[in-house]
């Protein structure tokens, strides 16, 4: 079952890269009591993700926060070290990376993509969502190979 608008996020462990190393966080704790703009990418350092998706959220961070977003987070089926390096290379302090190394979060959301044909195994679909106190208030899942509805610009129109 795929998560839908109005659903509560599943409670799974994610890993946040920090200057002190990886930090485990429960999704229920991370999303509790605030509005989070979450976007997911199939993989760090991949072409669309690095050229458009992450930079769009970095560029629009102030506008998203001006519309009531408390935090902007990115998740991917990568480890915390890779996401930390990607954020240093292409992102910034405006984005909190949440590593979903074993795809537990993506699976619990029903938003996995089989990218075995590209040597990438099980990954997350490309999507964005607005989460308020752990509940999905908007969700935008891309069709395979597209980048439209999960952009920061599209999300700004929903806020």
Report, as residue numbers or ranges, the catalytic residues.
49
Distance of alpha carbon 139 from the chain centroid = 12
Tell me the residue length of the chain. 159
- Looking at the chain, the number of H-run helices and the number of E-run strands are 7, 9
CB-neighbour burial class of residue 60 (10 A; exposed 0-12, middle 13-18, buried 19+):
buried
Residues 39, 150: contact at Cβ < 8 Å? yes
Q: For the chain, first and last CA: distance in Å?
A: 26
């Amino acid at each position: 079952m795929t998560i839908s608008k109005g659903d509560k996020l599943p409670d799974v462990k994610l890993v946040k890269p920090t200057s002190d190393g990886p930090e485990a966080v429960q999704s229920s704790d991370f999303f509790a009591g605030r509005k989070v703009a979450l976007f997911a990418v199939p993989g760090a350092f991949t072409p669309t993700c690095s050229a458009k998706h992450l930079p769009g959220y970095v560029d629009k961070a102030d506008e998203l926060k001006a519309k009531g977003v408390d935090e902007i987070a990115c998740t991917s089926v990568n480890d915390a070290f890779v996401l930390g390096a990607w954020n240093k290379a292409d992102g910034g302090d405006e984005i909190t990376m949440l590593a979903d190394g074993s795809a537990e979060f993506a699976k619990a959301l029903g938003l996995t993509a089989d990218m075995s044909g590209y040597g990438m195994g099980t990954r997350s679909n490309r999507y964005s969502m607005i989460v308020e106190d752990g509940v999905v208030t908007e969700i935008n899942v891309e069709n395979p190979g597209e980048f439209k509805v999960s952009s920061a610009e599209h999300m700004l129109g929903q806020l």
